[in-house]
């Protein structure tokens, strides 16, 4: 299986901060990398697909970059509704593994 | 509108089976794959597999490197009902989780529409 790691595992930030989350794959996954936001009691929400494409309806403060093994999710100016857990997922090879998540909470 | 609506919560005993349904509406059911993902209490997202709703083909991962539920999960669909199903057998306490279905346009795309989740509790 392709193993996914994320860093940091958690972070505390303030409204307006720029936040960057890193995701790394155990081997090259080209651009088959997607980012999801999960809030307690809610289904996951797709933010970014194929590494850098913003999903329709997602605010432009979210952006993604990377290819191969190293990827980043950036929130340019953190908003109150962005406090959540973020997961990356690879779909290069089944099983389509998720990273362990990064919890973003309020400083 | 486009949505996936899942069946209600289940409480099962260890060793039993559970079958969760996922009914699609608002789009052409056979034009999208359905994937299943679960989240145990306090844990992250765990991918289970996909079904091609057009052909019925499935993928549960590499059989040479089985996931903890491999050999126990079966994904099916009924195109006349626009519904996908995930059945998990020989339930264990660590199968307690919220189970989600989600769709993708091609097998490798991001999952853009999700069901609301189905809580399965395995309890003796």
Q: What is the pLDDT of residues B81-96, one digit of tens each?
A: 999 999 999 999 999 9
Grade residue B54 by pLDDT with cuts at 50, 70 and 90: very high
Query: What pLDDT sits at residue B124?
Result: 86
Nearest of B84, B68, B67 to residue B76 by alpha carbon:
B84
Choose among A48, A91, A98: nearest Cβ to B108: A91
Nearest of B85, B106, B113 to residue B10 by alpha carbon:
B85
The pLDDT > 90 percentage for chain B reads 89
Helix (H, G, I), strand (E, B) or coil at B30: helix
A57 token code pair:
């309806």
Choose among B45, B60, B117: nearest Cβ to A87: B45
Q: Are B114 and A55 in contact (CB < 8 Å)?
A: no
Q: What is the pLDDT of residues A13-28, one digit of tens each?
A: 999 999 999 999 999 9
Q: What is the pLDDT of residues A14-65, one digit of tens each?
A: 999 999 999 999 999 999 999 999 999 999 999 999 999 999 999 999 999 9
Write the CB contacts of B71 (distance below 8 Å, at least 6 apart in sequence).
Answer: none
Q: Are B33 and B104 in contact (CB under 8 A)?
A: yes
Does B67 contact chain A (CB < 8 Å)? yes
Higher pLDDT, B107 or B66: B107
DSSP B106: S
DSSP string covering A24-88: EESS--TT-EEEEEE-TTS--EEEEETTTEEPTTS-TTEEEEEETTEEEEEESS--GGG-SEEEE
Over 80: is that where the pLDDT of B65 sits? no
Nearest CA distance, A97 vs chain B (angstrom): 6
Nearest of B85, B102, B113 to residue B47 by alpha carbon:
B102
């Amino acid at each position: 299986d392709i193993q996914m790691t994320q860093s940091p595992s958690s972070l505390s930030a303030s409204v307006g901060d720029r936040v960057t989350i890193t995701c790394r794959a155990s081997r090259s996954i080209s651009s088959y990398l997607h980012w999801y936001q999960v809030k307690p009691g809610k289904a996951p929400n797709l933010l970014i697909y194929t590494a850098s494409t913003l999903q329709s309806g997602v605010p432009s403060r979210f952006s993604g970059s990377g290819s191969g093994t190293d990827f980043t999710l950036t929130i340019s100016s953190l908003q109150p509704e962005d406090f959540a857990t973020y997961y990356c997922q690879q779909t290069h090879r089944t099983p389509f593994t998720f990273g362990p998540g990064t919890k973003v909470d309020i400083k | 509108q486009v949505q996936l609506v899942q069946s209600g919560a289940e409480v099962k005993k260890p060793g039993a089976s559970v079958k969760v349904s996922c009914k699609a509406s608002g789009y052409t059911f056979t034009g999208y794959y359905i994937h299943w993902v679960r989240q145990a209490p306090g844990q992250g997202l765990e991918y289970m597999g996909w079904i091609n709703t057009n052909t019925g083909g499935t993928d549960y991962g590499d059989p040479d490197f089985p996931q903890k539920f491999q050999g126990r999960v079966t994904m099916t669909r009924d195109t006349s009902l626009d519904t996908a199903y995930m059945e998990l057998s020989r339930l264990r306490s660590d199968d307690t989780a919220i189970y989600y279905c989600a769709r993708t346009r091609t097998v490798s795309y991001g999952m853009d529409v999700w069901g609301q989740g189905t809580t399965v509790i395995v309890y003796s």
